[in-house]
Every structure is written in C-alpha cells, then in structure tokens.
Amino acid sequence: MSFPAKNFPHKHLLSVSDYQRMSSAGILPEGSRVELIEGEIIDMAPIGSQHASFVMQFNHLFMTAVADKLQVSVQNPIVLNTYSAPEPDLALLRPRPDFYRDQHPLPEDVVLVVEVAESSMAYDRDVKISLYAAAGVAEVWLFDVSESRLTRYTGLTTGKYSQIDRLDQNSDSDLELNAMPEIRVNLSMLFATINNETG
C-alpha cells in the first residue's frame, strides 16, 4: 500500500541565516561546539590535548609560511552553501582588509582547509571532505592524530578531488599550496614532534 507523501514527516533544514539568527538570539550559547552541516546542527567532538597541540603547531607553521600573503583562520565558520557552515580547525584565506568582519568566508575565499581528526576521522573523511569538494574548496588537508598521517586532497574536478596523497613522518615534509605554489609549508617540525613521541 502506498501513502501520499504529505502523510510523512519532513525534516526542516536550517539555513545558514537561520543558524546565525539562532546564535545571535542566544539559542546557541557562545562557544558551543556545534556546526551546521547540510541543514542540521551537528555536535563537534571535544578538543583533546593532542588535537589542540596539533592545531597550534599548524597555526605556527602557517603564520611563518604565509606572512602577509594569506590570513590564517582558526576554528571559524566557512559558508559553503545555503545549508552548510562548517568550522574547520584551520583555513588559509585570501586577505581582506576587514578580516572578514562583515561576512564569513565563502569557498572562493579559501586557499586551504585543514581538519585535525582525533576521534572524528570517519566523519571528517566521509562527510566534510565531500562537502568541501562539492563547494569548490581547492585544497584540503586531513590530519589523522592516531595514525600520525596527513592526507592531502587536491585536483578538484566536477566536485571531487582527483588527487589524494598520504604523507607521514617518512615523507617529504615541504609542501607547496596547490593554488599558490610560491607558498611552501615545511611540516618537518610537526613530524619531528611525532618522531619524538614515538621514538
């Protein structure tokens, strides 16, 4: 027996505008560990000490590498589309004099996104990477804390990344940004920390 579609409940998806109004109204307390993904409010994993440490190390490396060529954003929203505004651990943004005071960055403003995964590896890899690709983010790095491995996604073609490279402490640690090859990020300090912990 078939039933008319009207008899079935439908999800009410929140738009980014809805989400931002909820935050402004105090419905989402400041500092809440949530993000808007495909119209739904998703709880983010608590930040463990290892996660925080690697985020700080990436931030230090980027501040050294990009100088005034790009702006480093740490755990702030990027508006990918009407229904998604994830908060990646780090992003490198094209510089704006107002430092994005009037609106959050859009995909065309983003040169690189970095997600550091401690307990959220499967979600970051299977959900968020696909969202970034579909929105047109040129490059994503996914750092797996438990495996001490960085996966680099580039070669954006028809909403998917065609080039996936996996690097660990035995790999060449000097990476150039896909969209700005004149900027190179030396990950030797990051991998040296891993080697010291495992050595």
For 127-170, the pLDDT digits (tens) are 999 999 999 999 999 999 988 899 999 999 999 999 999 988 77
* Mean pLDDT value across residues 49-66: 92
107 and 136 in contact (C-beta within 8 Å)?
A: yes
Which residues, in sequence order, are bridge partners of residue 153? 140, 164
Indicate if the alpha-carbon torsion angle 14, 133, 71, 122 is positive or negative. Answer: positive
**Is beta strand 174-176 parallel, antiparallel or unpaired with respect to 140-144?**
unpaired
Measured CA angle at 193 (ends 192, 197), to 5 deg: 115
Structure tokens at 169: 């402490």
Q: What is the predicted pLDDT for the residue at 1? A: 45
Helix/strand/coil for 120 = coil
> 121 phi and psi, to 5 degrees?
-55, -50
Q: What is the predicted pLDDT for the residue at 29? A: 77
Helix/strand/coil for 6 = helix
pTM of the prediction? 0.89
